Amino acid sequence: MPLGLRGKKKARSKDVSKLMEGEPISQSAGSAQSLPLELQPKPRLVFHTQLAHGSATGTVEGFSSIHELYAKIAQAFDISPSEILYCTLSTPKIDMERLLGAQIGLEDLIFAHVKGIQKEVNVYKSEDALGLTITDNGVGYAFIKRIKYGSLMDSEKSVCVGDHIEEINGQNIVGWRHYDVAKKLKELKKDQSFSLKLIEPKKAFEIQPRSGAGKTTGGKITSGKGTLRLRSKGPATVEELPSESDEKAIKKVDSLLELYLGIRDIELATTIFQAGKDKLNPDEFAVALDEGLGDFAFPDEFVFDVWGAIDDAKQGRLQ
């Protein structure tokens, strides 16, 4: 699932809700600083959100996970959380490079892509590789992140980047992780037909009038170039953006995930990179992966190539 790396700050209209700090407290600054870190008052982070196919602007706050964020967005627009396929950051387009993962830039606008038209396709598997790269939204929906040019699935024009895969050969796969879906697709037998039930995100021409959607609040803006990191366990935390070298290494790891596993997941790539950043050799790194991410059963070749990317980042060799 995708990060919240932000681009340049853009001007915003007055009716857009702002990123807000917490309300003033009665303690003086000195007394607040004397409190333990965990007891010090924390800023109240409020993010703007819209439905990608068109809506008024709403706000969301007080979430620590993707699941909680989707629930907040659904509440803002009076829809079910299950209607949300995925979110993009600072663009309403189906831009797979701007997918919301476990990190959100503090100035990012969150666009929610909701369920649109359902479609079913039947494909004859004439080649071993389908040419699909799969990712997921972190709450049970796998979808197509990339279609390789010239591949078998590239010839199926009704199958598009951003489509949610709901069923494979009649088997419902809602709730599956991206690597399980990729494995299922890879295991489909050659020279046989298979079916996919897909749901594409709602497009702008399908929408109702924009008025009446969303609930907004006001507040003061705070600037910042960090990210809000969402966690499956524990509270969300505000962190600095990764360095340029680290960012290049993480993108390299993400590319290796696609090469070896057929998935794209920038958050998983970040976790893998962080697991090896302080290790001294590939053996220590392999042990760390087994302890923290053993369920993935990464092949040795993948581990070796990832260690190479991490070592290149440490030595400043990544271009």
- Token match 């008025």: residue? 211
Question: Count of H helices and E strands in the chain?
Answer: 7, 12
Q: Can you give the pLDDT at residue 314? A: 81
As a whole number of angstroms, the distance between CA 317 and CA 54 comes to: 44
Q: Can you give the pLDDT at residue 5? A: 36
Q: Can you give the pLDDT at residue 97? A: 87
CA 181 to chain centre: 17
Q: Can you give the pLDDT at residue 201? A: 95
As a whole number of angstroms, the distance between CA 128 and CA 125 comes to: 7
Beta strand spans in 148-229 (E): 164-168, 171-172, 193-201, 227-229
Q: Can you give the pLDDT at residue 316? A: 77
Split the chain (319 residues) into runs of 10 and give each run's mean pLDDT. 39 37 39 52 78 93 90 95 94 90 84 95 93 91 93 93 96 93 92 96 61 37 53 62 81 88 84 88 89 83 90 78
Q: What is the DSSP letter of 110?
A: E
Q: Can you give the pLDDT at residue 258? A: 86
Tokens for 139? 């709450």
